[in-house]
Amino acid sequence: MKILVLGIVLVLAGCISREPTVVIKRVEVPVMVECVEESDLPESFVLEGELLDKDSTIFDKAKAISIDRANLAKQNVILWAILQKCIAL
């Protein structure tokens, strides 16, 4: 019984003797910010291949695919430049 009381007294003494301290720390947290404005984005375009009829000839389809490929390559370059701008921030 004496050991139990002594243990409780020691625990309480340990809690009372140590006063809480306030520690202020600076923590840097990454925050998501918009790096692209809507005006920077290229206009979307309709793929030429989607405008073709079912009965279009193979030559019309090949021409449409060629145009779509060139347009997508241009759009890819523009979007890549926008992405690099975001990464540089």
Domain ranges of the chain: 37-89
> CA-CA distance, 28 to 5, in Å (whole number)?
47
- 51 near 68, Cβ under 8 Å? no
So what's the pLDDT on residue 82? Answer: 87
For the entire predicted model, the pTM comes to 0.54
> CA-CA distance, 45 to 61, in Å (whole number)?
17
Helix (H, G, I), strand (E, B) or coil at 21: coil
Structure token pair of residue 87: 């990464």
Q: pLDDT tens digits, the chain, 89 residues: what are they?
A: 878 887 777 777 666 666 778 899 999 988 877 788 888 888 888 888 888 988 999 999 999 999 999 999 999 999 898 888 888 76
Residue with tokens 């405008």: 51
